[in-house]
Structure 1
């Protein structure tokens, strides 16, 4: 298969071997990035409950915005992986370049629009007036620097589409290390550096993203030579943007569903007070550490289904889905037991109030036992994106988030208070995993779908 230097042929060899080869290094990269969120929660938690709750409110909204660039990256992965499966290296470079420019333009527009909407959005979510100054401090800096997140994210997606999981993981680890080193320095101050509290946490993230932005772009341009500086003409540029958007636009919408659902879950639990909000937020973030291999799987299955679908190897595509689903349930069960046993020791580390600790412990005792279902929904959606069938991915995420999580979490809160919200989340993920897995393997078309002709 003709390809760039970093390419790895995913159409040959054991399918599960490719899954593990991509998932393992990516898991370390995601672990590093997730640790940033946990360490942020730890240091900000030392400032007080209002600051902690404010940062937890920020998390789902920031993920909602980043879903746009994630979706565009999914579009690039799909087009690049299918081109690699066909052996079309020229198309691979051209699409990679056009994907980066499109992502920059879109995220820049989102940032410009996002800053003036901080107040209305977070107040509508239920943020109290005590939280709002801290929310505004954090999100203003986050929006201003969002464009610097795009380079590393798109670079990582493009390299994974070519079968390379090592370099993207190194980029993620470098960003995490810089962020973790800067967090206590900028939050609490050191020497001539003043204590900036919540603003310091946001600045640490911004500086780390700026550093790896430069590294990621250098890798694409000089090492991998995936950037084509020639002018393709408007016809080629717009055609590539259209094909990326054909996958990326619905994938962006699909990726927004999860953060949107989480946002409404936070709204459901907000009436029970800041400790409940903080406890739920910490519970979700720590659970996300256990979910790391499943997040890595969702970032790895697209290149596998894309390359094999592009090469017409439909049996290997089905095998990728089957073995991914089995992996999700097995890993989820083992991590649920671990969190159940460790919960009461972890809660005091991150939460200053006893009520917040109780909420986190309750979350870890219930919700993780359905994390395998969450993994199945993510893997199915990403696999369909790789095949060029993004609306099937939208259906998976919409069923889990809109049909199940939102109504069941609110119903649970109505019937059982704060703990009822957790039971609603558990039920939603369990039902979603079982039904999506069955429907994908029994009824879904597992072949690649190409866009229209130029």
Structure 2
């Protein structure tokens, strides 16, 4: 019971117990995507292009799943903090029920609209055909993504991030086996090509859903009989979507933000710089993994203590999350600054790509601490039922300011592509200032210390 009760005991111990397994799991999730990219490249350039074109469409599933999952974590944590196991089970029942309904809708609509969505992106030829085949197969298994995130949200609320970590590690190694098995048709299995990559992902997600269901049923605070006695509650479902949709929309702005950056890169430079940016982002994602683990810990601990009305512990988890995250990011920034050329060369040996990617990483290193600060504040706001700020700051960082500042720095001040790189740093630090101001205003009303 002590491991599930985050309203007592040293917060630092809770953070380590929750954040470290989460970060390890996310590392293997990142490596999972690298494996898919590797095998797509083995098939053909068109197959790799098809997967790349599918990203913003695939991201719809991930954004929606992540939003519902984080909403489940926040509201479940609050219910547990209030010692209301009835509300905890009611939320779990309605979250899973709504997840199934959303899955059915998204799977059918996504499958039908995929060709149109590819046409909108300007895709054509073999890469478009392969991308459509891959994406339609992914939509076929959309429900397993959504249910996995919801089940993980129920476990996260109890302080259990090890179960999802175990699934992601298992999924990585399973994908290593299933990708070539389905792609090349080994052991009598039909040769599927690029569809095999998607089918392997669906199978892994199916196995993960089954495993996480088992872990939820066996979790210390879950009672199967109580769960099965619950009924549909429109109020609960509405609360869940109010809590989760801002997180989904925030992730959607990230996808749009990538398009904006790519647009300005091509406006000021060329496709070589696009390749450099793509390689650099992979390095950056690895550096940010500890911060993502801290997000889960911060949200869960803040939620439980908000439910228990232990206000000082909410401020304590925010403070510790920021300071620990900044310390890790500063260390990461130093390492990236020194080893940037070597890191980029892992993905591409073109001297121009290495040079451009190195420049980006060494400038971007100055912004690394901003990600942990922003995410810590957003996580606490989610934990105290104030999730909408994530959308506002996402629109500011990913869409509004890039269009203004990238053009201003790149054209008016003549910085060209450097205007994009420095623009990202400036936008992130101004976003941190806005986040602190907004949090203080909300906190004074919602969680006053006195």
| TM class by smaller structure | 0.7 to 0.9
In structure 2, do the counterparts of structure 1 residues 283 and 326 end up closer, same or farther at CA, with 3 Å as the change threshold?
same
Distance across 2 between alignment mates of 1:418 and 1:119: 33
| 2:107 is the counterpart of 1:94 | no
| 2:384 is the counterpart of 1:387 | yes
Offset, 1:322: 1.8
Match of 1:11 in 2: 7
Kindly indicate whether the alpha-carbon contact (under 8 Å) linking 1:186 and 1:204 is maintained by their aligned counterparts in 2: yes
Q: 2:131 aligns with which of 119, 131, 135?
A: 135
Q: 2:217 aligns with which of 194, 218, 221?
A: 221
Distance across 1 between alignment mates of 2:161 and 2:397: 28
Q: 2:206 aligns with which of 207, 210, 224?
A: 210
Gaps of 5+ in 2: none
Offset, 1:262: 2.1
In structure 2, do the counterparts of structure 1 residues 393 and 146 end up closer, same or farther at CA, with 3 Å as the change threshold?
same
- Aligned-residue RMSD, C-alpha: 3.0
Distance across 2 between alignment mates of 1:446 and 1:57: 45
Distance across 2 between alignment mates of 1:446 and 1:30: 34
Kindly indicate whether the alpha-carbon contact (under 8 Å) linking 2:283 and 2:344 is maintained by their aligned counterparts in 1: no
Match of 1:444 in 2: 442
| 2:265 is the counterpart of 1:281 | no
Match of 1:116 in 2: 112
Distance across 2 between alignment mates of 1:248 and 1:369: 31
**Deviations for 1:250-300, whole angstroms, at most 9, x for unmatched residues?**
332233222222233334445666554444333223321111111112222
Match of 1:428 in 2: 427
Offset, 1:433: 2.8
Q: 1:22 aligns with which of 18, 22, 28?
A: 18
Kindly indicate whether the alpha-carbon contact (under 8 Å) linking 1:83 and 1:310 is maintained by their aligned counterparts in 2: yes
Distance across 2 between alignment mates of 1:19 and 1:372: 18
Local SS of the residue matching 1:164: coil
Kindly indicate whether the alpha-carbon contact (under 8 Å) linking 2:54 and 2:132 is maintained by their aligned counterparts in 1: no
Match of 1:303 in 2: 300
In structure 2, do the counterparts of structure 1 residues 162 and 104 end up closer, same or farther at CA, with 3 Å as the change threshold?
same
Distance across 1 between alignment mates of 2:136 and 2:20: 35
In structure 2, do the counterparts of structure 1 residues 335 and 382 end up closer, same or farther at CA, with 3 Å as the change threshold?
same
Local SS of the residue matching 1:36: helix
Local SS of the residue matching 2:320: helix
Q: 2:251 aligns with which of 251, 255, 274?
A: 255
Local SS of the residue matching 2:36: helix
Kindly indicate whether the alpha-carbon contact (under 8 Å) linking 1:305 and 1:383 is maintained by their aligned counterparts in 2: yes
In structure 2, do the counterparts of structure 1 residues 332 and 142 end up closer, same or farther at CA, with 3 Å as the change threshold?
same
Match of 2:173 in 1: 177
Q: 1:320 aligns with which of 300, 317, 322?
A: 317
Local SS of the residue matching 1:444: helix
Kindly indicate whether the alpha-carbon contact (under 8 Å) linking 1:53 and 1:278 is maintained by their aligned counterparts in 2: no
Distance across 1 between alignment mates of 2:130 and 2:409: 30
Gaps of 5+ in 1: 450-454
Kindly indicate whether the alpha-carbon contact (under 8 Å) linking 1:339 and 1:368 is maintained by their aligned counterparts in 2: yes
Match of 2:396 in 1: 399
Kindly indicate whether the alpha-carbon contact (under 8 Å) linking 1:69 and 1:107 is maintained by their aligned counterparts in 2: no
Distance across 2 between alignment mates of 1:252 and 1:354: 38
TM-score of the superposed pair, with normalisation by structure 2: 0.87
Identify the range of structure 1 (92-101 vs 420-429) with the bigger mean alpha-carbon deviation: 420-429
Distance across 1 between alignment mates of 2:419 and 2:188: 48
Kindly indicate whether the alpha-carbon contact (under 8 Å) linking 1:39 and 1:180 is maintained by their aligned counterparts in 2: yes
Match of 1:452 in 2: none
**Deviations for 1:313-371, whole angstroms, at most 9, x for unmatched residues?**
11111121122222232222222232333333333433476655555444333324312
Local SS of the residue matching 1:390: coil
Match of 2:33 in 1: 37
Offset, 1:36: 0.9
Distance across 2 between alignment mates of 1:105 and 1:12: 37
Offset, 1:434: 4.2
Offset, 1:448: 5.9
| 2:200 is the counterpart of 1:199 | no
**Deviations for 1:41-87, whole angstroms, at most 9, x for unmatched residues?**
33333445554444334334423432112111222222211111111
Offset, 1:373: 1.0
Equivalenced residue count is 442
Kindly indicate whether the alpha-carbon contact (under 8 Å) linking 2:93 and 2:231 is maintained by their aligned counterparts in 1: no
TM-score of the superposed pair, with normalisation by structure 1: 0.86
Q: 2:58 aligns with which of 59, 62, 69?
A: 62
